[in-house]
Amino acid sequence: MTDSKPNASLTAPSIHGDALPPVEQHAQQYATVRNAHETELIEDYVELIGDLLTHRGEARAADIANRMAVSQATVSKMIRRLNELELVTSKPYRSLFLTEAGQKMAETSRARHDIVLHFLRALGVKDATARIDAEGMEHHVSDETLDIMQRFTEQQQKS
């Protein structure tokens, strides 16, 4: 085994800067992040497709490519994946649509995204910055934290 030097504070929920967390916990932190990364892009695509359908009535590959700042080829490939995952339906050269599962994912993502964005604005972050941060943060915020953020925002708005 490794990690066998000082045995102090293997359990204390102390501040991170003080001591290393126990191996298993530490490992789980990284594993969770790695995991989030796998679904992140998928969720972003589905969320964006949902938004385009809502606000534009259709979701074309070219729009997605523009808004994601990515080549059309990349989008095309990704759509194939989304299809295999049964999140979207698409006929070649036609607009995309979300399946049931896709719609559910889009709503969830949209909701998370909005909670984080509103929270950041309530905290006092400038709009442009809040948007960028929210885009990055949304996939890494637990339900627990999300809940707290939402309550915080509501609280703020009352005053």
Partner DNA sequence: CAAACAGTTTAGCCTTGGCTAACAATGTTG
Partner DNA sequence: CAACATTGTTAGCCAAGGCTAAACTGTTTG
Beta-bridge partner residues of 96: 90
Beta-bridge partner residues of 88: 98
Site for DNA in 70-99 (CB under 7 A): 70-81, 90, 92-93, 95
Closest to DNA by CB, 65 or 122: 65
Kindly report the length of the chain. Answer: 159
Of 47-55, 59-67, 107-115, 141-149, the segment contacting DNA by CB under 7 A is 59-67
Does 43 interact with a copy of itself (rule: CB under 8 A)?
Answer: no
Three state DSSP letters for 96-157: EEECHHHHHHHHHHHHHHHHHHHHHHHHCCCHHHHHHHHHHHHHHCCHHHHHHHHHHHHHHH
| Chain residues in the site for a copy of itself (CB under 8 A) | 2-3, 5-6, 13, 15-17, 19-21, 23, 25-33, 36-37, 44, 51-52, 55-57, 60, 62-63, 66-70, 110, 113-114, 117-118, 120, 123-137, 139-142, 144-145, 148-149, 152
